[in-house]
Amino acid sequence: MSYQVSTAFNSLMNNFVNLDADETRNGRRSRDWLVDEQLTKFPDKDDEFPLLSTTPKMWFGSFSRRTKIRELDDIDMMIVMHAEGSTYTQSGKTFYISPGTNSRFQNYLNETGEWVNSRRVVNKFVSSLKSVSQYSSADSKRQGEAATLNLKSYSWNFDIVPAFITTPDSYGNTFYLIPDGSGNWKQTDPRIDKNRATRVNQKHNGKVLNVIRLVKYWKRKRGVPAIGSYLLETIMLNHYDDLNKDSMSEYLAIEFADALQALATAIVGYVGDQKNFQGDINHLSSEEQKKVQEMAFEDANNAKEALSIEFTDPEKSGKIWQKVLGKDFPVGNA
């Protein structure tokens, strides 16, 4: 059978970009076991471990949003604690939590004895997780923002973030408070991220997430500097949110070229947090922004060249695609 670029793209996506279906199922199964059979039982085994909410599970991160690429390396989760009458005070983007009277959070106070120290809460999660024999080690991550659990039998880790959910305001809105890395707490709401990714993907008939995953793969293979996964996803979702419904191409290669063009344009400007909590999330230096822009423009042009000769010279087109997407992109024998 003659070489076809479309077949090569399918091979790349199935074998090197998208998560393996069995690995995904195993990841979800092990995540559920950790929470349902271990974490939720810690408060009964240890009277200092924080009590948990009646709905303690909140999945977040790229695995939850279905934008993670191979190989599966980490799975993020928030574990929602029962506040036990605790209250919060906000100062700018920092939140301070005052423990409820006689609550278990009295065991995790800061040096002044006034506020719940988020690092101490994370450390409690770490010490409790070390008792689970199925895992090789547990430690804190990102200056005390999360507890990381390493597995013995699988290649991925779990990043576990203790969280509170606020009571509804006058409009019925709630949000989450998670460790900020400095011993206090910060605002987040992964429901917004996940709902937006789902909405934008459905708007374009389920084609957006594949493009996001391919751009992430390109970033890794090409060694694109500094740009984080969440920033990249936000730029892509902004692009497809602004695009008219049903205006996406059916052909992934065409959309990939357009996505690189959109990335090159957006990376040198303001990129707002889609949750409206953090303001500008584009923290790249001007030099880093310029480098990402140059690489994205260069490969957008390479992609367009490959597209222009796909049917007249498919082997040459495939070799250009391999230059853009790495040696695992299949090429013809010619």
- 10 Å CB burial of residue 319 (0-12, 13-18, 19+) is middle
Q: What is the 3-state secondary structure (H, E, C) of 23-74?
A: HHHHHHHHHHHHHHHHHHHHHHHCCCCCCEEEEEEEEEHHHHHCCCECCCCE
Look at residue 282 and tell me if it is in a domain. yes
64 lies in the same domain as 93: yes
> How high is the pLDDT of residue 140?
65
Domain boundary among 188, 219, 240: 188
Q: What is the CATH number of the domain that holds 97?
A: 3.30.460.90
Domain boundary among 168, 188, 208: 188
203 lies in the same domain as 223: yes
Tokens of 279: 């303001």
164 lies in the same domain as 235: no
Cis-peptide, bond into residue 71, ω within 30° of zero: yes
Look at residue 330 and tell me if it is in a domain. no
For 139, other C-beta atoms within 10 Å of its C-beta total 14
Residue 86 has pLDDT above 90, yes or no: yes
> How high is the pLDDT of residue 334?
46
CB 138 within 8 A of CB 129: yes
148 lies in the same domain as 200: no
Domain boundary among 166, 188, 210: 188
Alpha-carbon gap, residue 185 to 170, rounded angstroms: 22
Tokens of 18: 């998208």
Residue 74 has pLDDT above 50, yes or no: yes
- Which residue is listed with tokens 């939590």? 97
CB 9 within 8 A of CB 253: yes
- Using alpha carbons, select from 77, 75, 86 the residue that is nearest to residue 51: 86
Alpha-carbon gap, residue 173 to 170, rounded angstroms: 7
Residue 48 has pLDDT above 70, yes or no: yes
Tokens of 148: 């990381």
158 lies in the same domain as 34: yes
Look at residue 6 and tell me if it is in a domain. no
Q: How many domains does the chain have?
A: 2
Nearest 5°: CA angle at 129, between 127 and 132?
125
SS3 category, 177:
strand
- 10 Å CB burial of residue 55 (0-12, 13-18, 19+) is exposed
* pLDDT, tens digit, 9 for 90 and up, residues 132-156: 877 767 676 666 789 988 877 788 8
Region 263-277: what's the mean pLDDT?
95
Number of alpha carbons in the 13 Å side-chain half-sphere of residue 266 = 23
* pLDDT, tens digit, 9 for 90 and up, residues 172-217: 999 999 999 999 999 999 999 999 999 999 999 999 999 999 999 9
CB 114 within 8 A of CB 99: no
Alpha-carbon gap, residue 88 to 100, rounded angstroms: 10
Region 261-277: what's the mean pLDDT?
96
Look at residue 116 and tell me if it is in a domain. yes
Cα 24 to Cα 65, 228, 295, 307: the distances in Å are: 13, 22, 31, 32
Look at residue 4 and tell me if it is in a domain. no
Of all residues in the chain, what percent are helix, strand and coil, respectively (each to 5)?
Answer: 45, 20, 35
Tokens of 160: 């576990």
CB 153 within 8 A of CB 134: yes
223 lies in the same domain as 201: yes
- In one-letter notation, the amino acid at residue 169 is D
Region 34-51: what's the mean pLDDT?
96
198 lies in the same domain as 153: no
147 lies in the same domain as 230: no
> How high is the pLDDT of residue 20?
95
37 lies in the same domain as 171: yes
252 lies in the same domain as 211: yes
Give the structural domain span for 242: 193-325
161 lies in the same domain as 33: yes
- Using alpha carbons, select from 137, 165, 20, 21 the residue that is nearest to residue 79: 165
144 lies in the same domain as 275: no
Q: Structure pTM?
A: 0.92
* Average pLDDT of the residues of the chain: 94
